[in-house]
Copies of this chain bind each other. A is one copy, B any other.
Amino acid sequence: MTKNKIGREIPDYIEGIGKLVPYGGPFDFKPTKKKFARKISSIKPGESKLLESIKEAVIKTGLKDGMTISFHHHFRAGDYILNMVLDVIAEMGIKNLTLAPSSLSSVHEPVIEHIKNGVVTKIITSGVRGPLAEAISNGILDTPIIIRSHGGRARAIGAGDLKIDVAFLGAPSCDDYGNANGYTGKSFCGSLGYAKIDAEYADKVVLITDNLVPYPNVPASIEQNNVDYVVKVDAIGDPKGIASGATRYTKNPRELLIAQYAAEAIEASGYFVPGFSIQSGSGGASLAVARFLREKMIEKDIKASFALGGITGQFVEMQKEGLISKICDVQSFDLIAAKSIGENPDHYEISSSLYANPHNNGCISNKLDIVILSALEVDTDFNVNVITGSDGVIRGASGGHCDTAAGAKLSMIVCPLIRGRIPTVVKKVNTVITPGETVDVVVTDRGIAVNPLRKDLLEKFKKAKLPVCTIEELREKAEEITGKPKAIEYGDKIVGVVEYRDGTIIDVIKQVK
């Protein structure tokens, strides 16, 4: 055991994972390796990549016991691919696989059976929700899962820390030679940003489509020279689960109050100037912040250079209005964004590596001015938890949280001070995803706390007469209402390892009792 920089106990070694390097600061770890390189492959003119079935693809790729398979999560709750492929693999009797999708959601409950049957023995993901998450928190796997951020996953794949043997990638539009995009076809999901990196680095790449189109399907988000096989199936996802319609604005007064404070804090921060850049989530408060900012942008004639990240229709509309110059989209959050990416050249599709990989020659997160992030919990050291609930059970995803917090000049958490009877600002978060030293401001409905590292911001906020207080004061206010939260009872078994974006370990998740 070693205590890492934020005081979390990190084992030196975990069976099935290997040696762990404890987190030492957001830019402390310097890469020294070469990039991972797969074997050179070749295919002659006339050879076909089109296969009859997923089973044929599994056979052709040479998938064997003990290998690692990957998927993307752009279909979100509408994904058919992962369950479909795992069923085929299970039927073929292949065991002991590492499942390494870009993320998992509640629709992947059937994975539980595949774990029980020995088909899946390890999981590496950004997050997981629902029954599968509960089963993991209850210790269903012998080896802990590894939680990686989106930038961290791109880093791990690029560095060969995550070696993907076969990637099974759903493609809403694909030709017979593997040129694919995500914005046309009945199962369109918009950006294929998380899939691009798998296509570039996996030993074998299988595209699965329900929309085979004439060659060449260009512009292509995934290009043919990164694809081994193409399989046509009836349906790759449920459109209803893939993309929601236009996002509705919150009417929740508490969310609106948080958003108002946040917008005012941004305005006062000194970063709200012509050419600023921004990332914001799809939650009610985040969307409301963007709405308030829009008004301020029009009022003051301030235009943004770019919006980054998971993209909502709101930013698409603002870009059309001329308020935002470019959109860099790693994941399209709704129907409007998913359509726009195929139609508007200034709405640009980016890979997760370009988005947030700390170990490439400069990701876009590096150039971010403002990021607005959510939190399940924040502690008085400004550490943020977005992965485990108040019961200690996994119920979220690392996503781009720690990536953008590290990259942005102003990283702002927006959250209610309490949720139900549960405080959001606490002494010590259950699980750290984002280290406090990369968090600048916490905006709640009961006040704004500024990280002591950012005295400059504190001065500016005071001058703007914003309701600033210390993070300790926020915690006290929360506890006044909720009472002291009962400590979660954990067992000894580690069920999850949380990797920071640079590959070091920031925390572990223990089995719930």
> Chain A: residues with CB nearer than 8 A to chain B?
27, 30-47, 49, 158-159, 177-178, 205, 214-216, 218-220, 223-228, 275, 305-306, 325-326, 328, 345-346, 348, 350, 353-354, 357-368, 406-409
Contacts and interface: CB of A to CB of B under 8 A. Distances in A.
Contacts of A359: 40-42
Given A35-B37, A226-B361, A361-B228, A44 B366 contact: yes
Given A228-B361, A345-B345, A367-B177, A218 B326 contact: yes
Contacts of A345: 219, 345
A446 B354 CA distance: 56
Contact of A364 (B216, B366, B367): B216
Contacts of A406: 45
A474 to B, nearest CB: 27
26 contacts: A31-B40, A31-B41, A33-B39, A33-B40, A35-B37, A35-B39, A36-B37, A40-B158, A41-B360, A42-B358, A42-B359, A42-B361, A45-B365, A45-B367, A177-B367, A178-B362, A214-B275, A214-B325, A216-B305, A216-B326, A218-B328, A218-B346, A224-B361, A224-B364, A225-B357, A345-B345
Nearest to A343: B345
Contacts of A275: 214
A355 to B, nearest CB: 10
Nearest to A49: B362
Contacts of A350: 218
Contacts of A49: 362
A354 B224 contact: yes
Given A177-B367, A205-B361, A214-B305, 18 more contacts: A34-B38, A36-B37, A40-B359, A40-B360, A41-B359, A43-B362, A45-B407, A46-B366, A177-B362, A214-B275, A216-B367, A218-B350, A224-B361, A224-B364, A225-B353, A225-B362, A225-B363, A226-B361
Q: Could you say which of A39, A220, A306, A354 has the most chain B C-beta atoms within 10 Å of its C-beta?
A: A354
A362 B39 CA distance: 14
Which 5 residue pairs are nearest across A and B when measured between Cβ atoms? A37-B37, A35-B37, A31-B40, A218-B348, A225-B360
A359 B350 CA distance: 26
Contacts of A363: 225
Nearest to A502: B42
A257 to B, nearest CB: 31
B219 A41 contact: no
Contacts of A177: 362, 367
Nearest to A33: B40
